[in-house]
A and B are shown apart, each in its own frame.
Chain A
């Protein structure tokens, strides 16, 4: 079933370690987004991309970096993980003229 695929689904990191979360979509969507979900806070936008080679900061970008080298992939990097980055991370994509977002199933990250 096509859509948005996130890898990995689960990960435990030690404080200070780095990792990259991968988001891949096969719908030829222009826009891609990374959100984090924390209890009682809904989803907060980390970074987003309006097309291949472009990225922009969202509401909570500190401690994260992103890259969109290929249209279908949007990578989220944590250079030096902190316990405050323990969260569930969701990737989403949207077509240029579309209104609805398609979400991945999420990555549950725990930083100890």
Chain B
């Protein structure tokens, strides 16, 4: 089944404790992206990647890191999480660019206390 998977689905952590949210797709997509969703703000793009070893900042990259060492994986790293990073996070992928349909993961609910 073609899908985007994210782990964990739910995470509660404390300020400053490094964490990684994994994202994997099995569709051989070149484009991958991370978004955060907050009430009243919609989804905002954090980082995106056009291909392996190519990453670019989205609208809200501060406090986040990403890497794209393999085509299928695009982990999101919070090196020192803060409460303002409490949010719902989505990973997405598309065929070759963002102009095509994006397939979204199920979301990761992160709470930073």
**A pairs with B:** no
